[in-house]
Structure 1
C-alpha cells in the first residue's frame, strides 16, 4: 500500500532524517505532481498544495502509528526499504556542522530569533553554502542577526529604513551592498521567512528588501498613479495635475513624496488601488477620471508610503488584485495594515469570474502556491481552493472599468 512510486520521496527523506547523527525535527519534501500531493496528504493527515512542503518527523511518526497497521515510522521504513533504520555515528564533518550551528543559533537567540520557523533551514544553508570561513562566522552571524531583527520578516512593514542606515548600525554603510557575505546570508534568511525563492537578479533583490521594509535609495523605486485630485496650489501639485491634463500618468518616488505638500487629497476621496499596470493603462486610454494607484505586483515601500499618506488624509482606498494566493496575500496585508478595503474581491466575485471564463471558453491558469486566509470573506479562500483556478485582473478588466466610470463610492466594493 505504501510502497508506491509516488511515496518514494517521502520514505527516502524520512530515512535520511532518522539516520542522521543529529536527526532534524523537519525535512523538506518535493511534491512533483498531483498523485504525490494526494498520497502524501493521505499518509500525513492533511491536504497538500504546491510543489513542496515541510514534514515534521514526529507528526509523521504519529500519523503512521495511527493507521490500521499500527507501526512506527522506523518500522515502516524497514518494511518499505527492506533494511533497518540505523543512525549514523557523528563524524568530524558533523562536529563542524554542530559548531557552526551553535555560533549561528547563539547569534539568533540574542535577538529572539533562534526558534523562528526559518532558522533551522537558514543555519543549514549558511553552513553548507554560505562560503564563510570558520574564523569569520561569529562576526557575520552577529551582524546578520542584528539586521534580521530589524526586518519585517513575519508581517507587512509598518516603517521603512534605508539599506545604508541599516548596514551602518552593524558596522559600516556598505556592509549590505550586493555581493557581500552579510547581504548574501541576510537575503537567504529573508527569502526563507517570506516563503519565496532566493533572489537571482537585481530586481528580485530589490523586491525582497522592500518586502522586509528596506529601501535601497530614494529615487529608483516608484509607484504609478493616475488622476489623484491633489488639493495643493504649490508647484509640485500643479506639476502632477499638468500630466493628468495631457493624459499622462505619473511615477512617484520617495524623493517626490518628500517634496510633496503635507496634505495630498481631500477627506473622502475614493482611490482605486490595482495590482496590474494594464488596469491603469486602460483607465488612461479611456480617460476615466477616477483616481488610480497601481502597485505593479507586490507593493513597494514608496507605494505603501503613498497609501499611508492618502489614508491619513481621509481617503477611501479600494484594492483589487489577482485572484491567486499572492494576490489575496497583498489584499490581506493592505486590509490589515493600511486601511485598504477589498474591491471586487469576494467569493461571489471570484465565482462570477470563473463562471464567465468557462462560458467564454477562456483558459484560466492553475492555482499554485500555499493557500492564504481571506478574513474579509472567509468563503473566498475555500472557494479558490476548491476551484483551483487563478483569475488575473485582466480577465475581469471590463467589470473594474465599469466600476471606475461610475465611481467606487457609487459602485461599492
Structure 2
C-alpha cells in the first residue's frame, strides 16, 4: 500500500471530512485560522488525534499553520496541501476564492431547490441550515443531490413550527422516503435532518442520545414504544380492567408509575371521569414530594419538554374531560413548556401569573435564597402578558423547587372524598 492509500485509509473517514473541507477553504482563501464545528464525540476524537490536542464542546478554532505542522509531524511526513490533494483528488488552488464561492453557490442551489419543492425554502431555518450543510455537513458532492432530496422529504413530515398532533416511528418515517435504516444514529441523513430540526426549534444541536431522542420527539417522531415515559401519581382511573387495577395498586403501595407509549396503547379507552382535576408539573421533585406526603391529588410530571408519552397521556386525559392545572419553572424554557401544555383543551395555568412570580421573588429575598440568572430570549405568555416583562426586568429564574411548599399546599386542599375508582395512598405514621 502506497503513502496515498495509507493517508486515505487513516484520514479519509466521515469524522474528518469537515476538518479537511474547512482547511481547504482556509488555504485557498489565504486565511490563517478557521472555525470548525464538532457535531459529535466521534468528530471531537478524530480531530483531536490529528491536531494533537483534546477537542471539547461543539466547535473550536483551528490554526492552519498548526494543522500543517501536525500533519507534517505524522508518520506520513506530508504537508497539509499534499494531504488535501490526496484526500480530495485535486490540488489546493491558492487564491481560489472564486472557485470556492461557485462551489458554495452550486451546493446551496441544490439544497434550496429541494426545500422549495416541499414548500420549505422560506422557513427561517432554511438558509442557516444550507450554510451549515455546506460548511460542516460532511456530505460528499456526489451524494449531495440525493441527501438534499431525502432530507427535504423527511423535514416536510416533521413538526418544525407547531407541536406535533400525532407521532410516527423513525423507521416508518425513513421507509416512507426510502431506506428504513437511513435515519439511524450516525448516518449522514440523520445528521443533517437533526441540524435542521434544531435550527427550526431554536435549540442546540444534540450531542448525545438523550438529546437526539428529545429532539426527534419534539418533531413528532418516536424511536420506539417503550423508552419514552411519563411519570404519574394517584391517577383516579375508573376502569375495572387489569391495566387500571395495576396502576391503582401502585398508588396504594405509595409508588408512582412510569407509563410508556406501549402502556398507553394498551390502556382502556376511558381513563378518568369528566371534571377530574389533574396537576401537571415540570420537575419530578414536585411529584416526589406529593408521593412522600401521600397526597391524594393526581399529578403528572412532564420532566422537561413533554415526551411523546406525556403528550399522549395528557391528550387522553383532556379527551376524557379532565382539567389540567399547569405549572413550570419561571424561566424561558419553562415558559415555553407551559405554553405548549396550555394549548391543550381545558388546560389552565397554575400559579404561573406575574403576581405569582413577584411573590416568589419576594419570598426568596426574605429567605435569602439565591436565584439563578435568567438567560435566553423572552417568550410571550398569552395567559398573562405582564409575566415576560416582569421576568425580563427581574432577570431571575424561579425553579419549581423554590416554590415547592406553595404547590404542595395547593395539592393538600383537595377534597377528602376519593374520586371514583381511585386508590387512596396509604397513610403512614
TM-score by length of 2: 0.74
Partners of 1:163 and 1:405 lie apart in 2 by: 42
Matches within 5 A, 1:181-260: 181-260=188-267
Summarize the alignment of residues 123-134 of structure 1 with structure 2, pairs less than 5 Å apart.
123-134=130-141
CA distance in structure 2 between the aligned counterparts of 1:275 and 1:372, rounded to whole angstroms: 17
Q: Name the residue aligned to 1:112.
A: 119
Aligned to 1:48: none
**Deviation for aligned residue 1:333:** 1.3
Residues in 2 aligned to 1:340 and 1:366: alpha-carbon distance in whole angstroms: 29
CA RMSD of aligned residues (A): 1.6
The runs of at least 4 aligned residues of structure 1 exceeding 4 Å deviation read none
The equivalent of 1:364 in structure 2 is 371
Residue 107 of structure 2 aligns with which residue? 100
> How far 1:293 moved relative to its partner?
0.3
- Cα offset, 1:407, TM superposition: 2.6
Task: Describe the superposition over 1:369-392 as per-residue Cα deviations: whole angstroms up to 9, x where unpaired.
Answer: 111000000011111111110000
SS in structure 2 of the partner of residue 251 of structure 1: strand
Correspondence 1:121 to 2:135? no
1:219-268: per-residue Cα shift (whole Å, max 9, x none)? Answer: 01100000000000000000001100000000000000011000000000
Distance 1:226 1:191, change over 3 A: same
How far is 1:339 from its partner?
4.1
1:393 positional shift: 0.0
Tell me which residue corresponds to 1:158. Answer: 165
Corresponding residue SS for 2:258: strand
Please say if 1:396 is aligned against 2:403.
Answer: yes
Q: Alignment partner for residue 333 of structure 2, among 326, 330, 333?
A: 326
Match for residue 308 of structure 1? 315
Answer whether contact 1:307 1:338 (CA < 8 A) is retained: no
Which residue of the other structure, out of 265, 269, 290, is the alignment partner of 2:272?
Answer: 265
SS in 2 for 1:91: helix
Q: Does the aligned pair in 1 maintain the 2:164–2:219 contact within 8 Å? A: yes
The answer to whether 1:317 aligns with 2:324 is yes
CA offset digits 1:315-338 (Å, max 9, x no partner): 001110000001011111111245
Q: How does 1:372-387 map to 2 (within 5 A)?
A: 372-387=379-394
Q: Distance in 2 between matches of 1:191 and 1:328?
A: 19
SS at match of 2:142: coil
Q: How far is 1:154 from its partner?
A: 1.3
Deviations 1:62-85 (A, max 9, x none): xxxxxxxxxxxxxxxxxxxxxxxx
- Structure 1: distance between partners of 2:377 and 2:388: 11
Q: SS at the partner of 1:132?
A: coil
* 3-state secondary structure, aligned to 2:172: helix
In the TM superposition, 1:16-165 aligns within 5 A as 91-165=98-172
Instruction: Indicate the SS of the match to 1:273.
Output: strand
User: How many residues align structurally?
Assistant: 323
Aligned to 1:26: none
What is the SS of the residue equivalent to 1:136?
A: helix
Counterparts of 1:329-344 in structure 2 under 5 Å?
A: 329-344=336-351
Q: Does the 8 Å CA contact 1:221/1:300 hold for their aligned counterparts?
A: yes
- TM-score, structure 1 as length reference: 0.77
* Cα pair distance change 1:339/1:100, threshold 3 Å: farther
2:315, 2:344 within 8 Å by CA — same for their partners in 1? no
Which runs of 5 or more residues in structure 1 are unaligned?
Answer: 1-20, 22-87, 409-413
